[in-house]
């Protein structure tokens, strides 16, 4: 789901969504959403 779709649902700016995504990627040591999902699955977070 793109940040443009997420932002209105959470009532936050697109910039804020992107900042949160970057933070998540950094913590999971991944580069994109696909890698983040795979990492979360491997860690039992999903």
Token output for 38: 């795979």
- Residue 18's domain comprises 3-42
pLDDT average, residue stretch 27-34? 96
Provide the number of structural domains found in the chain: 1
pLDDT average, residue stretch 33-41? 96
As a whole number of angstroms, the distance between CA 18 and CA 2 comes to 9
What is the predicted pLDDT for the residue at 41? 97
Give the 3-state secondary structure of the chain: CCHHHHHHHHCCCHHHHHHHHHHHHHHHCCCCHHHHHHHHHHCCCC
pLDDT-based confidence at 24, cuts 50/70/90? very high
pLDDT-based confidence at 20, cuts 50/70/90? very high
What is the predicted pLDDT for the residue at 37? 96
């Amino acid at each position: 789901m793109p940040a443009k779709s997420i932002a209105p649902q959470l009532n936050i700016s697109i910039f804020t969504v992107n900042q949160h995504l970057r933070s998540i990627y950094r913590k999971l040591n991944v580069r994109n959403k696909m890698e983040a999902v795979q990492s979360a699955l491997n860690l039992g977070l999903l």
